[in-house]
Chain A
Amino acid sequence: MTVALGASAYSVAVFHLMTHAFFKALLFLGAGSVIMGMHHNQDIRYMGAVRKYMPITWITSLLGSLALIGTPFFSGFYSKDSIIEAVHESNLAAAGFANFAVLAGVFVTAFYSFRMYFLVFHGKERYDQNPDAHHGDHHDDHESHSPHESPWVVTVPLILLAIPSVVIGFMTIQPMLFGEFFKDAIFIDAEKHAGMKILTEAFHGPVAMALHAVSTAPFWLALAGVVVAWYMYLINPAVPAAMGRALRPLVVLLENKYYMDWINENILARGARALGSGLWKVGDRTLIDGLLVNGSWKLVGMVSNWTRKLQTGYLYHYALVMILGIFLLMTYFVWLNK
Chain B
Amino acid sequence: MGMLSLAIWTPIAFGIVLLALGRDEQAQSVRWLSLVGAIVSFLVTLPLYAGFKLDTADMQFVEKASWIERFNVNYHLGVDGISLWLIILTAFINVVVIIAGWEVITRKVNQYMAAFLILSGLMIGVFSALDGLLFYVFFEATLIPMYLIIGIWGGPNKIYAAFKFFLYTLLGSLLTLIALIFLYIQSGGSFDIATWHELPLSATAQNFLFFAFFAAFAVKVPMWPVHTWLPDVHVEAPTGGSAVLAAIMLKLGAYGFLRFSMPIAPDAAHEWGTFMIVLSLVAVIYVGLVAMVQQDMKKLVAYSSVAHMGFVTLGFFIFSPLGVSGGLVQMIAHGFVSAGMFLSIGVLYDRVHSREIASYGGVVNTMPKFAAFALLFAMANCGLPGTAGFVGEWMVILGAVKFDFVVGLLAASALIFGAAYTLWMYKRVYLGSVTNDDVKELTDINAREFTVMALLAVAVLYMGLYPKPFTDVMEVSVANLLEHVAVSKLP
- Kindly specify which of A89-97, A186-194, A275-283 makes contact with the partner chain: A275-283
Which residues of B in the span 272-328 have a Cβ within 8 Å of any Cβ on A? 286, 288-294
Taking a contact as CB atoms closer than 8 A, the residue among B168, B228, B420 that contacts A272 in the complex is B420
* B413 nearest CB across to chain A (Å): 11
Question: Please, which residue of chain A has its CB at the minimum distance from the CB of B286?
Answer: A279
Distance, CA A297 to CA B420, complexed state (A): 36
Q: Is A293 an interface residue (CB 8 A)?
A: yes
Q: Are A283 and B420 within 8 A (Cβ)?
A: no
* A287 nearest CB across to chain B (Å): 8
Give the number of residues in B that approach A within 8 Å (Cβ atoms): 16
* A295 nearest CB across to chain B (Å): 12
Interface of A, helix, strand, loop or mixed by DSSP:
helix
Q: Are B228 and A276 within 8 A (Cβ)?
A: no
Q: Is B432 an interface residue (CB 8 A)?
A: no
Q: Is A128 an interface residue (CB 8 A)?
A: no
Distance, CA A280 to CA B229, complexed state (A): 14
Distance, CA A279 to CA B285, complexed state (A): 11
Taking a contact as CB atoms closer than 8 A, the residue among B164, B228, B292, B417 that contacts A288 in the complex is B228
* B302 nearest CB across to chain A (Å): 11
> Inside 8 A of A272's CB, which chain B residues have their CB?
289, 292, 417, 420
Q: Is A124 an interface residue (CB 8 A)?
A: no
Q: Is A45 an interface residue (CB 8 A)?
A: no
> Inside 8 A of B228's CB, which chain A residues have their CB?
284, 288-289, 293
Taking a contact as CB atoms closer than 8 A, the residue among A276, A284, A297 that contacts B292 in the complex is A276
Q: Is A273 an interface residue (CB 8 A)?
A: yes
Question: Please, which residue of chain A has its CB at the minimum distance from the CB of B292?
Answer: A276
Contact flags B351-364 to A (C-beta < 8 A → 1, else 0):
00000000000000
Taking a contact as CB atoms closer than 8 A, the residue among A280, A288, A292, A293 that contacts B293 in the complex is A280
Taking a contact as CB atoms closer than 8 A, the residue among A279, A292, A293, A297 that contacts B290 in the complex is A279
Contact flags A145-161 to B (C-beta < 8 A → 1, else 0):
00000000000000000
* A289 nearest CB across to chain B (Å): 4
Contact flags B10-25 to A (C-beta < 8 A → 1, else 0):
0000000000000000
Q: Is B385 an interface residue (CB 8 A)?
A: no
* A288 nearest CB across to chain B (Å): 5
Q: Are A288 and B289 within 8 A (Cβ)?
A: no
Contacts A288-B228, A289-B228, A293-B228 given; indicate if A273 touches B293 (C-beta within 8 A): yes
> Inside 8 A of B229's CB, which chain A residues have their CB?
293
Contact flags B419-461 to A (C-beta < 8 A → 1, else 0):
0100000000000000000000000000000000000000000
* A303 nearest CB across to chain B (Å): 16
Taking a contact as CB atoms closer than 8 A, the residue among B286, B292, B294, B417 that contacts A283 in the complex is B286
* B412 nearest CB across to chain A (Å): 16
Q: Are A276 and B225 within 8 A (Cβ)?
A: no
Which residues of A in the span 267-313 have a Cβ within 8 Å of any Cβ on B? 272-273, 275-277, 279-280, 283-284, 288-289, 292-293, 297
Q: Are A275 and B168 within 8 A (Cβ)?
A: no
* Most B CB within 10 A of own CB, among A280, A288, A289, A293: A280
Taking a contact as CB atoms closer than 8 A, the residue among A275, A276, A283 that contacts B291 in the complex is A276
> Inside 8 A of A275's CB, which chain B residues have their CB?
289
* A163 nearest CB across to chain B (Å): 35
Distance, CA A293 to CA B286, complexed state (A): 19
* Most B CB within 10 A of own CB, among A273, A276, A279, A284: A276
Q: Are A293 and B168 within 8 A (Cβ)?
A: yes
* Most A CB within 10 A of own CB, among B164, B228, B229: B228
Question: Please, which residue of chain A has its CB at the minimum distance from the CB of B229?
Answer: A293
Distance, CA A324 to CA B444, complexed state (A): 77
Distance, CA A278 to CA B225, complexed state (A): 15
Contact flags B196-227 to A (C-beta < 8 A → 1, else 0):
00000000000000000000000000000100
* A271 nearest CB across to chain B (Å): 10
Distance, CA A283 to CA B289, complexed state (A): 12
Q: Are A276 and B168 within 8 A (Cβ)?
A: no
Distance, CA A251 to CA B294, complexed state (A): 39
Q: Are B420 and A284 within 8 A (Cβ)?
A: no
Taking a contact as CB atoms closer than 8 A, the residue among B164, B167, B290 that contacts A276 in the complex is B290
> Inside 8 A of A276's CB, which chain B residues have their CB?
288-293
Distance, CA A292 to CA B227, complexed state (A): 12
Which residues of B in the span 371-427 have a Cβ within 8 Å of any Cβ on A? 417, 420
Distance, CA A156 to CA B254, complexed state (A): 58
* A285 nearest CB across to chain B (Å): 8
* A278 nearest CB across to chain B (Å): 9
Contacts A272-B420, A293-B168 given; indicate if A288 touches B290 (C-beta within 8 A): no
Distance, CA A273 to CA B288, complexed state (A): 11
> Inside 8 A of A279's CB, which chain B residues have their CB?
286, 289-290
Contacts A289-B228, A293-B168 given; indicate if A284 touches B290 (C-beta within 8 A): yes
Question: Please, which residue of chain A has its CB at the minimum distance from the CB of B294?
Answer: A280
Distance, CA A288 to CA B286, complexed state (A): 13
* B236 nearest CB across to chain A (Å): 15
Distance, CA A297 to CA B160, complexed state (A): 12
Q: Are A277 and B293 within 8 A (Cβ)?
A: yes
Contact flags B222-253 to A (C-beta < 8 A → 1, else 0):
00010011000000000000000000000000
Q: Are A273 and B225 within 8 A (Cβ)?
A: no
Contact flags B125-169 to A (C-beta < 8 A → 1, else 0):
000000000000000000000000000000000000000100110
Question: Please, which residue of chain A has its CB at the minimum distance from the CB of B171?
Answer: A296
> Inside 8 A of B167's CB, which chain A residues have their CB?
297
Q: Are A288 and B225 within 8 A (Cβ)?
A: yes
Which residues of B in the span 163-186 have a Cβ within 8 Å of any Cβ on A? 164, 167-168
Distance, CA A245 to CA B41, complexed state (A): 76
Q: Are B168 and A280 within 8 A (Cβ)?
A: no
* A299 nearest CB across to chain B (Å): 13
Distance, CA A292 to CA B168, complexed state (A): 11
* Most A CB within 10 A of own CB, among B167, B286, B417: B286
Q: Are A280 and B420 within 8 A (Cβ)?
A: no
Distance, CA A280 to CA B292, complexed state (A): 10
* Most A CB within 10 A of own CB, among B167, B225, B291: B225
> Inside 8 A of A283's CB, which chain B residues have their CB?
286, 290
Q: A272-B417, A276-B289 are in contact. List 18 more A-B contacts (CB 8 A).
A: A272-B420, A275-B289, A276-B288, A276-B293, A279-B286, A279-B289, A279-B290, A280-B289, A280-B290, A280-B293, A283-B286, A283-B290, A284-B228, A284-B290, A288-B225, A288-B228, A292-B225, A293-B164
Can you give 20 A-B contacts (C-beta < 8 A)?
A272-B292, A272-B420, A273-B292, A273-B293, A275-B289, A276-B289, A276-B290, A276-B291, A279-B289, A280-B290, A280-B293, A280-B294, A283-B286, A284-B228, A288-B225, A288-B228, A289-B228, A292-B225, A293-B168, A293-B229
- Which A residues contact B (CB, under 8 angstroms)? 272-273, 275-277, 279-280, 283-284, 288-289, 292-293, 297
3 interchain residue pairs of minimum CB distance: A276-B289, A276-B293, A280-B290
